[in-house]
Amino acid sequence: MRRLLAVVPLLLVGAAMPPAAVAADLAHREVLPNGARLLVAPRPAIPIVVVRVYVRAGSAFDPAGAPGLANITADLLTRGTASRTGPELDRAIEFVGGSLDAETGRDGTALTLAVLRKDLDLGLDLLADALLRPTFPEDELKRKAADIEAAIRRSDENPEAVGGRALARLLYPGHPYAHPVVGTVDSVAKITREQVVAFHRARYRPDATVIAAVGDVALDDIRGALARRVAGWTAPSTPDETIPMAPASPPVVAETISRELTQATVYLGRPAVRQGHPDYFPLLVANYILGGGSTSRLYTRVREDAGLAYSVGSALSPGRYGAAATVSLQTRVDAVGQALGLVRAEMTSIGKGPVGERELSLAKAYLIGSFPLRLDTTAKVAETLTAIEENGLGLDYPDRFKDAVARVTLADVERVAARYLDPSTFSSVIVGK
Amino acid sequence: MRRPPIAAALLTLASVSPSAAPAIAAPAQVAEATLDNGLKVLILEDHRSPIVSVQVWYRVGSRNELPGATGLAHFLEHLMFKGTPTHGKGEFSRQVEQSGGHDNAFTTQDVTSYYANLAADKLELALALEADRMRNLLLDAKEIDSERQVVMEERRTRTEDDPDGLVSEEMMSLAFKAHPYRWPVIGWMEDIRRIAPTELRAFYDRYYRPNNAILVVVGDVSAEVALGHARRLFGGIARGPEPPAVAAIEPPQIDERRLIVKKVGAQVPIVNVSWHVPTFRSADAPALELLSTILSEGRASRLYRKLTYERRLALGAGGDYSYFSLDPNLFWLYAMPLPGQTPEALEAALLAEIELVKQELIPAEEIERAKNQIEAGFVWGHDSVHSRGATLARFELLGSWRLADGYVPLIRAVTAEDLQRVARTYFLADRKNTAILLPADAPVAR
């Protein structure tokens, strides 16, 4: 499709924590003297490199009254450094056909370099400058704030963005996950340069950072090249900030947002569990059976049998400070009641059993067997490595993931489904008429 | 597309491919065969990971449709997942998922593509499924009616409720009068609602033939073994009559065209400007490709740097050019105004950039940067087995996958004078198409 830019509500993330390939081959790991964790995964044959620097500096760390600070700070990393203005940096990286971009989520910010192998030195210089020596010029802040405000206003025409933001408010009352990563029109307008500088100083600390280098790199080369560039970067003596966990039992609320649309966008959500919880893997399997793929119950009943949706499914999103289970669908405005009825019936029935052996074995085969495909690009490997490290899952996570999925029983699935997929425990947002 | 893209994982945010330009393998690596029934087979071994991408590309898209039955190609794409006598409804996807794989499909103006990316040891399974549905589709009337509703939902998502989709569709209808590019790939809602099972069957019988398809296999497989499977599984399928060529030729545009579409709920105007241009068959195509990159690829590109960064006119600005389009298509610019700026100011600014290209030779640094971006994108296209396969197919659709070898050299050979010449040749004031979307007030409550 022509210039279709997918806007994905940050709340509604992929079906599962991306698992990884055989642990022994996954990456070399070490802790640099300044506390930053370095993961290196050579992936030769194609002369390209991705270096992903993940800093625990997401919107969850926005100070009270300044939603959007983490996001705009990240956006400004490449808008002026000690050695280059923003436009000079743009020209330098694009002249070699590379990219250097920062993206912020709820938990962290990823500054990602993608270059041809022959341009790695230049790329690392630019990356280190952006990470460690951004100058945050006042005029760039004004410009970026105006861009973000305009983008937020425009996103009001996107029902998925509207619905995702509303569901976050319902799921995380009183928690920083409740506000949009980009902030609000009012909050972004008020952000000052002093706040940006202070946020960068406080949050961009090596002991809250994971660096993954993947591609046509040799371990010793990239280790030396990176260590040299981050040598002067040290952690503040203050202990790292912590964020409370999201509320375990927010009130169940149903919200309807009226819009002139032909199709309604519906989100259901409730708290769930993170990877360390014993219910996580059974819930991962239950979610897959309910709405994870194109053989799932929701896809089959709502789309294939009833023709009520193009897009319907369920997902788990295990954030560092809280996890959610969500269901989403889009259906014509006069069919919302019928479609939601089918969805709720499936959510209820999966907890009451019986779940078939065939469903269970398919879900397990897919979750276990799809590892290599989740690592089929250089960027995906880098993302997986930083996610595994940042969530404390360990580089043997792929093996443990496979084992844990393999052990899930029918009884497990029904038990967790009854507990976490009961529709009466889900808040809902309908964007439509 | 049969299914919506999977939501990106939270941490999967940055796009790392610096350009959408393609990449290929060195010629010696590709095993090529044409079966007796006309099926073209391309196989590329790639042993980096234990996966394989199996793709079947049919030479049929919305350009092969007729008025009154638009959206047939895309509708049929959906139905290709509804089963055969051997593999019932949903069985394709079930078997692929059982193998840890993903399958999906997409339809464009020119082509319909099906793919399964899965464990390499399941190659034969994927080939068997594709061979089966090439000729044995059930096309059950009840399933057609159910899927009709799904396609209508897809259209609501992509077009009815999406200002960008809506105005893009309007632009194509404005710019094309005779050629099928004038209707949307998904089809008009009225046609989707009406299309009869007999029409779908006839369309399937006409275009879903081995002599109208390209099979691509890239991954951790033996080319010899894969070719053996392909011969065995596809070789028995009968060659069909050659599908009719698309006869329509777009007549020359005689004056500028303009439309405004008002959309309730839209928050921001969208300004689109386009001109008719030739594509890959023309010696001017590389210059147009490079010019599109200079204007709109990256933050150093002219439109971003000037309209968004320096002049603070645009919330976003960019462009599009379809080098790979089988028939002549559009060279396209678009922009959305920042608050306080008008569509008129943006339109003038877009046109001023075009005038500048006509008046002043583009500096060497900008040209070199864009060439480097395209070449780097070519290298990044090797990153996954899926993208390698898609690149082979895209060039094969133009005549031969070997054309990929010449792509970067053609781009490299473009001069500043070429860029100026194509701008002066094609971007004429009285050949311009302008489509503007404006936010409209909500209707009074009933």
What is the Cα–Cα distance from B50 to B376, expressed in whole angstroms?
A: 26
Chain A segment 364-393 residues within 8 A of B by beta carbon are 365-366, 368-373, 375-380, 383, 386-387
What is the Cα–Cα distance from A149 to B311, expressed in whole angstroms?
A: 17
pLDDT higher than 50, residue B18: no
Interface test with B, best of A13, A117, A263 (most B CBs within 10 A): A263
pLDDT tens digits for range A193-208: 999 999 999 999 999 9
pLDDT higher than 80, residue B408: yes
Point out which residues pair with B434 in neighbouring strands.
B258, B273
Interface touch A300/B7, C-beta < 8 Å: no
Interchain CB contact of A240 with B (< 8 Å): no
Which value does ipTM take for this structure?
0.92
What is the Cα–Cα distance from A224 to A230, expressed in whole angstroms?
A: 10
Q: What does the pLDDT read at residue A244?
A: 95
Q: What does the pLDDT read at residue B36?
A: 98
What is the Cα–Cα distance from B266 to B282, expressed in whole angstroms?
A: 38
Interface touch A13/B10, C-beta < 8 Å: yes
Residues in Cβ contact with A340 at an 8 Å cutoff, skipping those fewer than 6 apart: A266, A428
Chain A segment 323-342 residues within 8 A of B by beta carbon are 330-332
Query: Which residue would you say has higher pLDDT here, B174 or A15?
Result: B174
- State the pairing for strand pair A28-31/A37-42: antiparallel
**What six digits make up the tokens of B74?**
């895309």
Interface test with A, best of B1, B2, B13 (most A CBs within 10 A): B13
Chain A segment 170-229 residues within 8 A of B by beta carbon are none
Residue pairs between chains A and B whose CB atoms are closer than 8 Å: 263
Sign of the CA dihedral running B81, B82, B84, B90: positive
Q: What is the mean pLDDT of chain A?
A: 92
Half-sphere exposure of B411 (CA within 13 A, CB side): 26
Q: How far is CA A391 from CA A71, A274, A322, in A?
A: 21, 9, 12
pLDDT higher than 70, residue A7: no
pLDDT tens digits for range B46-80: 998 999 999 999 999 999 999 999 999 999 999 99
Q: How far is CA B117 from CA A321, A374, A382, B126, B389, in A?
A: 34, 11, 20, 9, 11
Neighbour tally for B171: CB within 10 Å: 26
- Helix ranges (H only) for A133-277 are 138-155, 159-171, 185-190, 193-203, 219-229
- State the pairing for strand pair B257-264/B329-337: unpaired
Neighbour tally for B86: CB within 10 Å: 11
**What six digits make up the tokens of A273?**
């569990």
pLDDT tens digits for range A354-413: 778 999 999 999 999 998 898 999 999 999 999 999 999 999 888 899 999 999 999 999
How much is the CA Rg of chain A, to the nearest whole Å? 22
Band (A3; pLDDT cuts 50, 70, 90) = very low
Sign of the CA dihedral running A402, A404, A410, A414: negative
Query: What are the chain B neighbours of A118 within 8 Å (beta carbons)?
Result: none
Band (B42; pLDDT cuts 50, 70, 90) = very high
Please give, rounded to a whole number of angstroms, the shortest distance from the CA of B107 to a CA of chain A: 9
In chain B, whose CA is at the least distance from the CA of A5? B164
Band (A21; pLDDT cuts 50, 70, 90) = very low
Residues in Cβ contact with A35 at an 8 Å cutoff, skipping those fewer than 6 apart: A205, A206, A207, A209, A235
In chain A, whose CA is at the least distance from the CA of B159? A262
Task: Give me the mean pLDDT over the B311-336 stretch.
Answer: 97
* φ, ψ (nearest 5 deg) of residue B287: -65, -40
pLDDT higher than 70, residue A420: yes
Point out which residues pair with B435 in neighbouring strands.
B259, B272
Q: What does the pLDDT read at residue A24?
A: 55
Q: Could you write out the DSSP letters of every residue in A93-156?
A: HHHTT-EEEEEE-SS-EEEEEEEEGGGHHHHHHHHHHHHH-B---HHHHHHHHHHHHHHHHHHT
Please give, rounded to a whole number of angstroms, the shortest distance from the CA of A286 to a CA of chain B: 16
Of A349-358, B172-181, B411-420, the poorest mean pLDDT is in A349-358
pLDDT higher than 80, residue B28: no
| Helix, coil or strand: residue B329 | strand
Q: Which residue has the tokens 């001023």?
A: B352
Report pTM: 0.93
Of A25-29, A263-267, B80-84, B168-172, the poorest mean pLDDT is in A25-29
Query: What are the chain A neighbours of B380 within 8 Å (beta carbons)?
Result: 48, 114
pLDDT higher than 50, residue A109: yes
Query: What are the chain B neighbours of A153 within 8 Å (beta carbons)?
Result: 267-268, 339
Helices A357-369, A397-407: axis angle to 10 degrees equals 170
Active site residues of B: 77
Q: What is the mean pLDDT of chain B?
A: 93
pLDDT higher than 90, residue A224: yes
Cα–Cα–Cα angle for A117, A122, A125, rounded to 5 degrees: 125
Band (A5; pLDDT cuts 50, 70, 90) = very low
- Burial of residue B405 (CB within 10 Å: 0-12, 13-18, 19+) is middle
Point out which residues pair with B264 in neighbouring strands.
B440
Q: Nearest CB to B51: which of A50, A315, A376?
A: A376
Size (chain B), residues: 446
| Strand stretches in B342-432, DSSP E | none
SS (H, E, C) A326-363: EEEEEEEHHHHHHHHHHHHHHHHHHHHCCCCHHHHHHH
In chain A, whose CA is at the least distance from the CA of B297? A94
Q: What does the pLDDT read at residue A256?
A: 97
> Which contiguous run of DSSP H or E holds residue A38?
strand A37-42
What is the Cα–Cα distance from B59 to B172, expressed in whole angstroms?
A: 21
pLDDT tens digits for range A143-186: 999 999 999 999 999 999 999 999 999 999 999 999 999 999 99
Query: What are the chain B neighbours of A151 within 8 Å (beta carbons)?
Result: 315
Interchain CB contact of A22 with B (< 8 Å): no
Q: Please answer whether residues A208 and A48 qualify as being in contact, where contact means their C-beta atoms are separated by less than 8 angstroms.
A: no
Q: What does the pLDDT read at residue A237?
A: 87
What is the Cα–Cα distance from B325 to B437, expressed in whole angstroms?
A: 25
Q: Please answer whether residues B398 and B22 qualify as being in contact, where contact means their C-beta atoms are separated by less than 8 angstroms.
A: no
Interchain CB contact of A64 with B (< 8 Å): no
In chain A, whose CA is at the least distance from the CA of B94? A295
Interface touch A116/B379, C-beta < 8 Å: yes
Query: Which residue would you say has higher pLDDT here, A318 or B360?
Result: B360
Residues in Cβ contact with B144 at an 8 Å cutoff, skipping those fewer than 6 apart: B79, B197, B200
Please give, rounded to a whole number of angstroms, the shortest distance from the CA of B387 to a CA of chain A: 10
Task: Give me the mean pLDDT over the B150-158 stretch.
Answer: 95
Task: Give me the mean pLDDT over the B382-406 stretch.
Answer: 95
Chain A segment 408-427 residues within 8 A of B by beta carbon are none
* φ, ψ (nearest 5 deg) of residue A14: -60, 170
CA-wise closest residue to A310 among B162, B386, B172: B162
| Helix, coil or strand: residue B114 | strand
Task: Give me the mean pLDDT over the A211-220 stretch.
Answer: 96
How much is the CA Rg of chain B, to the nearest whole Å? 23
Q: What does the pLDDT read at residue A351?
A: 80
**What six digits make up the tokens of A384?**
């997986």
Interface touch A4/B164, C-beta < 8 Å: yes
| Helix, coil or strand: residue B274 | strand
Please give, rounded to a whole number of angstroms, the shortest distance from the CA of B227 to a CA of chain A: 23
What is the Cα–Cα distance from B54 to B99, expressed in whole angstroms?
A: 13
**What six digits make up the tokens of A101?**
């971009």
**What six digits make up the tokens of B52?**
């394989």
Cis peptide before A63 (omega within 30 of 0): no
Q: Nearest CB to B94: which of A295, A308, A386?
A: A295
Q: What does the pLDDT read at residue A22?
A: 40
Interface touch B376/A98, C-beta < 8 Å: yes
**What six digits make up the tokens of B423?**
């701008």
Task: Give me the mean pLDDT over the B290-302 stretch.
Answer: 98
Cα–Cα–Cα angle for A89, A91, A92, rounded to 5 degrees: 65
Please report, rounded to a whole number, the percentage of residues in chain B having pLDDT higher than 90.
91
pLDDT higher than 90, residue B19: no
CA-wise closest residue to B284 among B432, B408, B426: B426
Interface test with A, best of B87, B151, B262, B299 (most A CBs within 10 A): B299
pLDDT higher than 90, residue B225: yes
CA-wise closest residue to A142 among A102, A88, A188, A179: A188
